[in-house]
Amino acid sequence: MDRLRVGRRALLVGSALSLGMGRARAQAPVRLRSYWWGAKERADRTERVNALFTQRNPNITITGETVGWGDYWTRLATQAAGRNMADLIQMDFGYIFEYARRKALLPLDPFVGKQLDLSGFTQSSIAGGKVDGKIYGVSLGLNSTSLIYDRTAWEKAGIVLPDWPMSWSEFARRTAALTKAVGREGFWGTSDAGNSGPGLEVWLKERGKPMYTEEGKFGASAEDMAEWFAYWQDMRTSGACVPPDVQALDKGEIDTSMLTLGKASVSFANSNQLVGYQALNKSRLDLAMYPAGEKGGKSGQFLKPSQFWSVAATTKYPDETVKLLSFFVADPDAGKLLGVERGIPASSLVREAVAPTLDDMGKRMLDYVSFISDKVSDLPPPPPRGAGEVLAVLVRTNQSVGFKRLTPAQAGKQFLTEVTDALSRG
């Protein structure tokens, strides 16, 4: 009897406590961390959205962490190993499979229609963030690869703009002509994109080969690669692109790109990066499609999610984190702050709200994406594990050719050997 009474009292106390805790929890301060790569322009916009979110949800504060692309993945891997990932993580198409399959990301399906509002999304833009049938990432914007070029320089030199339709050999001729016409020491027509993964992927697709097969193998032959390296070696010889010791200054970020450093007029980039590039460049920049096969050839470009928001599997606040994610991709006010810096918003509702607020540059990007949409092909198979190393091998092998350590033919063979090894190790 006694015992029962104690039990009942304990029960009462316990439920009172849990009630109180429930109430306290709703207002309890929640601290979220978000982590993304990008330049300052992106950081400013992201912080503004974070601030707006906090204003509407005063109990949630957000700490933003940002680094450049070059350091992003090593740091994320370290944090993942230490079970210390940020709650909200910017994710790339090239890595989402690795992280999802290693169970580092939270499947978002249970939140759809609740905390996560995907009502403005098409099925195909949701599918872009799916791995093995579950949603692990929500697109922050649609983009495609794009040449970003210094329109002022081209117009002043009076050379035909590097614009669609343009074959690879025409691109070579026009950039060489620009180098000559500008005639400034330390300036060349284009950056050396023999090291560019996206450049290679588009070039290969135009020859009917995927960069990676469905089985996760490299999709091209040593002969294809030899031709690729030879194309860029010819570009160096003709003076169309920057020499290798200059290209080596490029660390793969906007602020060290040849275009921003004033060494070249063309960058092999992504369409959404126009915002970041324009912020660092005085002359008027414009977008153009990557070159294609000979005239009338089909483009190897494709529309893709520029990047995702993903949620760490280790987050203590899944509800709040997903709510923040949803705010970024579905709230029109957040959309206006973000603009098209991460690409064209995937949600049609946000897109409609954002379109009238865009400046001239934003409109150019919107025009570009709609211009290419009937020229692009399907999304290729996702990059397998080890794809990150493939990009590093590409940079190094292209340098070996540039510094004349290898002939293009040798480079093609060596590249394929190394890449096959890297992909087999995962």
Which helix (H) or strand (E) is 295 found in, with range?
none
Contact 334, 49 (CB under 8 A): yes
Residue 59 or 78 having the CB closest to another protein: 78
Question: Binding another protein by CB under 8 A: which of 43, 52, 67, 77?
Answer: 77
Look at residues 32, 76, 20, 44 and name the one whose alpha carbon lies nearest to residue 342.
44
* 373 touching another protein, by CB under 8 A: no
* 73 touching another protein, by CB under 8 A: yes
61 φ/ψ angles, rounded to the nearest 5 degrees? -110, 150
Residue 80 or 338 having the CB closest to another protein: 80
Contact 324, 32 (CB under 8 A): yes
Taking the CB of residue 375, how many other CB atoms lie within 10 A of it? 14
Minimum CB separation of residue 131 from another protein in Å reads 14
Residue 7 or 70 having the CB closest to another protein: 70
* 399 touching another protein, by CB under 8 A: yes
In sequence order, the β-bridge partners of residue 131 are: 134
Question: Binding another protein by CB under 8 A: which of 108, 240, 246, 353?
Answer: 246
Helix (H, G, I), strand (E, B) or coil at 308: strand
Number of chain residues interacting with another protein (CB under 8 A): 33
Residue 326 or 399 having the CB closest to another protein: 399
**Ramachandran quadrant class, 228 (left: phi over 0; alpha: psi -120 to 50; beta: rest):** alpha
Tokens of 112: 């759809």
**Binding track, positions 161-200, relative to another protein; x by CB under 8 A:** -------------------------x--------------
| Separation CA 395–CA 80 (nearest Å) | 27
Which helix (H) or strand (E) is 177 found in, with range?
helix 168-182
Tokens of 102: 């290693």
Contact 377, 302 (CB under 8 A): yes
Question: Binding another protein by CB under 8 A: which of 13, 81, 160, 161?
Answer: 81
Question: Binding another protein by CB under 8 A: which of 155, 214, 223, 245?
Answer: 245
Contact 134, 107 (CB under 8 A): yes
**Binding track, positions 264-303, relative to another protein; x by CB under 8 A:** ----------------------------------------
Q: Which of residues 11-70 bind another protein (CB under 8 A)?
A: 70
Contact set with another protein (CB under 8 A): 70-71, 73-74, 77-78, 80-81, 98-99, 102-104, 186, 244-246, 248-249, 251-252, 386, 388-389, 392, 395-396, 399-400, 403, 405, 422, 425
